[in-house]
Amino acid sequence: MAIAPIAVVEATAHRVPLPRPWGPDVPANHLIVCTVTDEDGRTGTGFTWTPQIGAEAVHSMLLTEAAPAAVGLPAHPGAVWDVVWRHLREAGAGGVTTLALAAIDTALWDLRARAAGHGVIDEIGRRRDTIPAYGSGVNLHYPLDELLAQAERWTARGLPAIKVKVGRPDLDEDVERIAAVRAAIGPRTRLMIDANQRWDLPTARRAITALARYDLHWVEEPLPADDIAAHTALRQAVDVPIALGENVHTSYGFRDLLIAGACDIVQPNIARVGGITPLLRIAELARTWNIPTFPHLLPDVSAQLACTLPLPCMVEDVEDASFTALGLLTGEPPVHITAGTAHPGHHHGLGLTFDPQRLTTTRI
């Protein structure tokens, strides 16, 4: 297939209310939908995402800097990614820059797979047809009865694993909540905890030691995400596996985590690392340490990518927060999650058909 140059890059920004707010300060997520058109008239639809802040800055970076740098380049994801990231780096190696680049990169993968007449899974290289899913929630603010009700909903759906938030001011509260969740889900369901960077090193040691008795599958982001030395020291001090990466923006950052021995699992977020192209590179890098890659959030696309990754993993399904659950898509969803398993569909490209009416009502 001949690769035509990129002709047009367009994007719109949206604020999408969450049916289950992620706390008083996070009632909505932000989505940017991007369309790339090549000079042969072929199109691809991609996206980027930020839960709380920065959507308008990302939208501006995308339209004023990333798009002009991409227009005229051959519509090949890897080639475009390297050129545009090099252009954007003056504004920062990651953050707004990689979030903006993710929109173009995902659109290019969609365009490329659609033009080939198959899904992105087969464009990358399918290793498996389904992937296990785990229930996840932004639930630190939930009272205990709500937390237990959520855990019970997940187990009723047949999910083989669940993840809950920790990091309350009083460690005894965390212990009480995790003990109750473990009792509710039983011994066979995997249980993960996520501290969202709330602890310092001494606190993390104490907390993980106190919580380990509940058979934790991993603890996620126990410390500030960029404190590699502290995570390395923590990993050496505790027996619970450490998961990191949702707030790491570059392959260099993941390389440094791996070299330091700071984690057992890497969790790149498709949007934050700059799209599918860098996520695949990170997964191959992690494989050289025999460390699995678990894509962070966004199961409508993450489940598709997980089916292509070199090592087994699970996909995260935050309750009522996928594009499908938020009512952003029309037609057949790209991924169905049933009986604890994610089943990507047989669509072309990424399978993201955004509902025009929903986009109109949520536009910033």
Which amino acids are annotated catalytic? 165, 296
DSSP-assigned beta bridge partners for residue 191: 162, 216
Identify whether the C-beta of residue 296 lies closer than 8 Å to the C-beta of residue 246: yes
The whole-angstrom separation of Cα 353 and Cα 364 is 19
Euclidean distance between CA atoms 336 and 279, whole angstroms? 22
User: Shortest CA distance to 77 belongs to which of 89, 85, 88?
Assistant: 85
For residues 170 and 196, is the Cβ–Cβ distance under 8 A?
no
CB-based contact 250:226 (threshold 8 Å): no
How far apart, in whole angstroms, are the C-alpha atoms of residue 13 and residue 354?
13
Q: Which of 288, 293, 291, 296 is nearest to 247 (CA)?
A: 296
Closest CA to 103 of 51, 67, 76, 79: 67
Q: In this structure, are strands 190-194 and 216-220 parallel, antiparallel, or unpaired?
A: parallel
3-state secondary structure of 285: helix
What tokens were used for 356? 């025009």
Residue at 23: amino acid letter: G
Q: 228-237 vs 201-211: helix axis angle to the nearest 10? A: 30
